[in-house]
Structure 1
């Protein structure tokens, strides 16, 4: 039942999310919005993105000219079409980060700063009294390798898309825009810092000690090499050996991304906060266990992610606004017959609620009295309540009253429950459905009295 409810909820959210999309393909609409847009100081960031992208396209050697011109052309086209621009505009920092990371290998040698080999391990000893990464790697095991590999080698590349999809489905579009901005600027800042202040990772210390490093050296998969050996592959060895940023230990973008994902999910989906922070904690450990980062790298990346999250967090997404559903989702859930957490036991077990049956009987449109014939007139039964207390007409009997009875009752209500000085009111009950001339003592009915009596049988 829970799996079915989850699938129905996901399907309803997908339908609602697709319905919220701008499906227009006309660039004219984008140009029209651009002309009507009021530019602010924050829009200067797009000038920064344009200048930074121009720098990287100029330095890029592969692919060469003129093929590399296809990248900015396709980018501009995606920004002009409304259907694609609703995704590409918020993701501009993310794409600029990917472009910066890829093009870092083409930075001229004369521009590159010196590589720090001893700075991070020295700070590790000064701040924590020991090399934490070295301690964690003294004892390894294939089970620990698998536990470390999944978040570091798989989750780091897959989980950002999972978070973005969940935000798109279950939260307003402003949350997805916030994700693209915070996540993109976090990684863009991190990779620029790694290019400007290159530092070696723990795997370099294990292989080369504290000997000076140079940019001709290849990267190492570190502990992920054991994963390649376990699966008889060379994927991580090839990937890290040809990394564009070999000496990018500080800050740890693996730890930064995990922290950003944990902050987002715990803020916008508080019910899963313990699980996502447990995932982040395992990844923190994995970065050091696999000899890719020192503890100071992990702390630096987590602090950087926290700063960017609260720097870009809009005021309207704080408090109750953080868990507000997007437009159309509640309606889609209602029409999708998705059981909610507050559903009754009848809905949870797919049973008919007997209360609905009673409410259906109360509906006057579904319950109509048949018209009486001319020779059979409806007998109005009026009787005095016991003790002289007027009996109020039950709400369930009001649909049984004809127009004259209802108007008379309204008039009687206006007079305080009395009519012509008598202390009684017209009351409708099931007795009014029984013909007066058809009942009598021989049928078990007593004359009309304040109560019903049963004739004694002889």
Structure 2
């Protein structure tokens, strides 16, 4: 029996990534479901429209933006989880730690000043300076832009490392969110403004960051903390956790030209730690807990990569799904 000629050449390139045709209906469908669910759960918020417009715009604009938003869907998941926390305030499920955390901080890190024992937050509330107000405000503004900017760089420079970083970032947040519900904790500014008795609040406070706003005559931090999803989520300090993850993966990125950024990230990391305490948003204990959560998340992801073949395949799928489209093989006319 004669063999039929193959309809495809043996040299025809294999597709580098899965097809994205299903996304043409999946992304709008997920967007509609997200808007509906959000409206029912937490009510309409303008940033929800911004998120939906950004995701759909990037997905349909070009192949590059489609790959980009596909990779950054990990950060979209983080944002949705964080936003939905406002529908389930942690103080409704467990007692909020106000006094015990304060007195533990006082015992471990108390500063003697003018015959009184003060927490570091109370000390800086009495001894603050404009230059530190400005610097700490700048450092605190870096807590999300730096991870996102670093992720954007990694997406184009080293996509495998991008997904390791992004999944670690998500894992660290999930660990932090779980602890928020297991151990709701009041921030230092709550004690300064409301005392040691618990009072339910739905809006955060700028605390010491109000001095940054006042110095420049702006309302940057006022607008940020008016949208705070969870007031009683001081421990662990995820502000302190994020830069640890950034620094770890910055050192895993072996590009020689990246050395100056490693130093920059180290400075920002220490600056955020100090600013968290200086501005009364976190105790030293919260900062240490945030660092511990970051190291735990990093360790867990490294363990998954080392021990789980299924997780490694998932990571490779993510890398494959965001690979550039390969140009079709040229057609050689028959002679």
- Does residue 149 (structure 1) correspond to residue 137 (structure 2)? The answer is yes
Where do 1:433-444 residues align within 5 Å? none
Aligned twin of 1:210: 196
Match of 2:248 among 253, 256, 263: 263
What is the CA distance between 1:296 and its match in structure 2? 0.6
What is the CA distance between 1:25 and its match in structure 2? 7.1
Cα distance, 1:108–1:141 mapped onto 2, change above 3 Å: closer
Spell out, residue by residue over 1:340-390, the C-alpha distance to the aligned partner (whole angstroms, 9 max, x if none): xxxxxxxxxxxxxxxxxxxxxxxxxxxxxxxxxxxxxxxxxxxxxxxxxxx
TM-score, scaled relative to structure 1: 0.50
Is the Cα–Cα contact under 8 Å of residues 201 and 248 in structure 1 kept in the other structure? yes
What is the CA distance between 1:266 and its match in structure 2? 2.2
Cα distance, 1:62–1:29 mapped onto 2, change above 3 Å: closer
Match of 1:116 among 97, 100, 109: 97
Match of 2:109 among 128, 131, 134: 128
Aligned twin of 1:301: 290
Spell out, residue by residue over 1:186-217, the C-alpha distance to the aligned partner (whole angstroms, 9 max, x if none): 1233234324432111111111221222135x
Is the Cα–Cα contact under 8 Å of residues 255 and 284 in structure 1 kept in the other structure? yes
Where do 1:305-316 residues align within 5 Å? 305-313=294-302, 314=305
Spell out, residue by residue over 1:84-118, the C-alpha distance to the aligned partner (whole angstroms, 9 max, x if none): 66445554442222112212222279954332211
Aligned twin of 1:230: 215
Unpaired runs of 5+ residues, structure 1, are 1-21, 31-52, 316-325, 327-458
User: Aligned partners of 1:61 and 1:275: how far apart in 2?
Assistant: 38
User: Aligned partners of 2:92 and 2:110: how far apart in 1?
Assistant: 35
Is the Cα–Cα contact under 8 Å of residues 29 and 82 in structure 1 kept in the other structure? no
What is the CA distance between 1:132 and its match in structure 2? 2.6
Spell out, residue by residue over 1:38-75, the C-alpha distance to the aligned partner (whole angstroms, 9 max, x if none): xxxxxxxxxxxxxxx89x758623229xx99x96xx78
Match of 1:162 among 149, 153, 156: 149
Is the Cα–Cα contact under 8 Å of residues 89 and 230 in structure 2 kept in the other structure? no
Is the Cα–Cα contact under 8 Å of residues 136 and 289 in structure 1 kept in the other structure? yes
Cα distance, 1:82–1:178 mapped onto 2, change above 3 Å: farther
Is the Cα–Cα contact under 8 Å of residues 98 and 198 in structure 2 kept in the other structure? yes
Secondary structure of 1:223's counterpart equals: helix
What is the CA distance between 1:125 and its match in structure 2? 3.0
Is the Cα–Cα contact under 8 Å of residues 119 and 199 in structure 1 kept in the other structure? no
Match of 1:104 among 78, 85, 91: 85
Unpaired runs of 5+ residues, structure 2, are 1-15, 25-33, 112-118, 307-318, 320-335
TM-score, scaled relative to structure 2: 0.67
User: Aligned partners of 1:111 and 1:282: how far apart in 2?
Assistant: 33
Spell out, residue by residue over 1:382-435, the C-alpha distance to the aligned partner (whole angstroms, 9 max, x if none): xxxxxxxxxxxxxxxxxxxxxxxxxxxxxxxxxxxxxxxxxxxxxxxxxxxxxx
User: Aligned partners of 1:145 and 1:211: how far apart in 2?
Assistant: 29
What is the CA distance between 1:279 and its match in structure 2? 2.0
Report the structure number with the largest CA radius of gyration.
1
User: Aligned partners of 2:90 and 2:240: how far apart in 1?
Assistant: 29
What is the CA distance between 1:120 and its match in structure 2? 1.8
Where do 1:72-111 residues align within 5 Å? 86-88=67-69, 90-107=71-88, 111=92
- Does residue 282 (structure 1) correspond to residue 271 (structure 2)? The answer is yes
User: Aligned partners of 2:139 and 2:190: how far apart in 1?
Assistant: 22
Where do 1:12-411 residues align within 5 Å? 26-27=20-21, 57=38, 60-63=41-44, 86-88=67-69, 90-107=71-88, 111-129=92-110, 131-152=119-140, 154-170=141-157, 172-216=158-202, 218-269=203-254, 271-272=259-260, 273-313=262-302, 314=305
Aligned twin of 1:364: none
User: Aligned partners of 1:308 and 1:194: how far apart in 2?
Assistant: 16
